[in-house]
Structure 1
């Protein structure tokens, strides 16, 4: 998928209404006030977690992150980098999509597109060493971050 295709997904999620309750459809999960979309995923690493397998997969996802981040930065300026670790250890109920995102990554690059009350977040995440490495796109309402 090329950067222009990914930017089109960003635009679609910015315009798409939030559902009243949680839903999941393929690569997208949504709920009140958020959408999370898996833009790209590596293979899973159940059978082989060697450096020769994991490092190229990580490099491919990191490059896709950098390319899309550059496109978003060209549109809206430098992102705010948000530390998600406090959500991971919070004693309070963590709202979505932070509850999901903090289980996959500890950093989220966030842009606030002008003319909208939503934010756009981009991250690379992985649930555990055996799972796929994912390029994650999130949009949410203005309450975060």
Structure 2
């Protein structure tokens, strides 16, 4: 499901998204960088668009973007609740330091580099037994572009300075 559909998150949709997330965690990473309508990936990461809103070229008052944002945040919250029940509280990764670092020419590992250009933070669950982590975020490339519910898998979690547990400040 990568297009906007009306209605709230059904249990069927939630199960479908959780299945896609499980697949992302299990799939090998692509050997070369790739981009398509479902997301992107490379040697140490993969980003999947789980759901996308419409574009906002004609949304002069911002109402359509606010409604789409609320809908995608509801999807994100439902997924966070389901994954928290499975794996415990997520870490919250502040992506702003990575966006700044990338803009200053520093190397930023993927998928953090990609996510930092779309979202302000990501909810992340480390999976040390798999040598991976999973992250969820809602992001947008520009105000006219669709909002996207994103699932990302990477090998290297960001440094502790920008990561905090949900229950702590």
Bin of the TM-score, shorter chain as denominator length? over 0.9
TM-score normalised by length of structure 2: 0.80
Is the alpha carbon distance of 1:114 and 1:77 closer, same or farther for their aligned partners in structure 2, counting shifts above 3 Å? Answer: farther
Shift of 1:115: 3.2
For the 8 Å contact 2:127–2:134, the answer to whether it is kept is yes
Is the alpha carbon distance of 1:137 and 1:109 closer, same or farther for their aligned partners in structure 2, counting shifts above 3 Å? Answer: same
Pair 1:35 & 2:49 matched: no
Measure, in 2, the Cα distance between the counterparts of 1:84 and 1:49: 28
Cα offsets for 1:17-73 (capped at 9, x unmatched): 011210123213110110000101111100114243222111110100001111111
Measure, in 1, the Cα distance between the counterparts of 2:147 and 2:84: 23
Gaps of 5+ in 2: 2-12, 159-169
For the 8 Å contact 1:37–1:138, the answer to whether it is kept is yes
Shift of 1:8: 0.4
Measure, in 2, the Cα distance between the counterparts of 1:81 and 1:52: 28
Pair 1:70 & 2:84 matched: no
Shift of 1:114: 6.0
Gaps of 5+ in 1: none
- Equivalent runs, 1:1-145 vs 2, <5 Å: 2-90=13-101, 91=104, 92-113=106-127, 115-141=129-155, 143-145=156-158
Measure, in 2, the Cα distance between the counterparts of 1:17 and 1:61: 27
Is the alpha carbon distance of 1:133 and 1:4 closer, same or farther for their aligned partners in structure 2, counting shifts above 3 Å? Answer: same
Is the alpha carbon distance of 1:53 and 1:25 closer, same or farther for their aligned partners in structure 2, counting shifts above 3 Å? Answer: closer
Runs (4+) of structure 1 exceeding 4 A deviation are none
The count of aligned residue pairs is 144
- Secondary structure, aligned partner of 1:64: helix
**RMSD, aligned CA:** 1.4
For the 8 Å contact 1:49–1:130, the answer to whether it is kept is no
Measure, in 1, the Cα distance between the counterparts of 2:21 and 2:128: 14
